[in-house]
Amino acid sequence: MFAKTGLRVLRAHNMRVFRTYATPAIDKTLLDASKTLHDASKKPYDANKKTLVLLGTGWGTTTILKNLDTHNFNVVVVSPRNYFLFTPLLPSCTVGTTESRSIMEPIRHIVGRRGKDMRFIEAECTDIDVATKQLTLTRSLDPTAHTHIKYDHLVVGVGGTYNTFGTPGVEQHACFLKEINDASKIRRRLKDAIEKASFGDVAPEERDRLLHVVVVGGGPTGVEFAGEMHDLVTEDLAKWVPSLSRHIKITLVEALPNVLPS
């Protein structure tokens, strides 16, 4: 249900949808191949234009790029992530309803197919010098590699971090659901827990512990993930591991009196 709704929204944003039944590993081939589609990084700066630098490749930055007339600026996008992630479908990736690469769109492809020019730098912005209007960039895969670029206008759209509300043990033991790697991690841990619970003579207490999924947060992400888990248990695991499926328990924890608070 959630996956079908998300796919409709995905198409509404003019993004390609790939139906695939491949392995859960993220396929980098799609991302690498897209680099040749519209590589404007080698184009020189126009001295008559001001330079607009956008940090991040999330919803805010991508929306600006789609509506920006790049002929008026030297546009530079800086991010350690060279793709846009359609986050509403992340819960579907955790159980295999949607494949990870189906919700990843190369940022060069999004801009290039609209006939716009930009330069993309895969790096992290580690320092902003407002006085000189200069950014310090560090290569994500090589922390010793640094470079500097000037800007006239700067847009910061790097997103936020996880909020644990100071709860002890969350960082060490819990799984988050914000990035594509988070969805892959949850998917692996779900499969591992099911396999461990079905291996040998597992004590009932340990079996129940392994098969108890606790979702903290009654917002859209938590509710959708709980719904995807329920569908996985009732539609798939009931056929694959009927002896275990009836022992799987899903608990949704929310501090407010109702879920999906507005």
Per-residue model confidence as pLDDT tens for the chain (262 residues) = 444 444 444 444 444 443 333 333 334 433 343 343 334 444 557 888 899 999 999 999 999 988 888 888 999 999 999 999 999 999 999 999 999 999 999 988 877 776 677 889 999 999 999 999 999 999 988 888 999 999 999 999 998 888 888 889 999 999 999 999 999 999 999 999 999 999 988 999 999 999 999 999 999 999 999 999 999 999 999 999 999 999 999 999 998 999 987 6
Q: Is the dihedral of CA 128, 129, 130, 134 positive or negative?
A: negative
pLDDT at residue number 28: 44
Report the predicted TM-score, pTM, of the whole model to 2 decimal places: 0.76
**What are the φ and ψ backbone dihedral angles of 251, each rounded to 5 degrees?**
-120, 125
Report the largest interatomic distance among the alpha carbons of the chain, rounded to a whole angstrom: 74
Give the number of other CB atoms < 10 A from CB of residue 215.
20
pLDDT at residue number 65: 87
CB-based burial label for 259 (10 Å; 0-12, 13-18, 19+): middle
pLDDT at residue number 71: 84
**How far apart (Å, rounded) are the C-alpha atoms in residues 52 and 73?**
6
**How far apart (Å, rounded) are the C-alpha atoms in residues 45 and 73?**
9
**How far is CA 63 from each of CA 14, 58, 157, 200, rounded to the nearest angstrom?**
12, 8, 11, 52
pLDDT at residue number 3: 46
Contact criterion met (CB below 8 Å) for 135 and 127: yes
Distance of CA 9 to the CA centre of its chain: 16
Q: Is the dihedral of CA 19, 226, 195, 167 positive or negative?
A: positive
Paired tokens of 254:
């929310």
**How far apart (Å, rounded) are the C-alpha atoms in residues 195 and 171?**
25
Contact criterion met (CB below 8 Å) for 65 and 111: yes
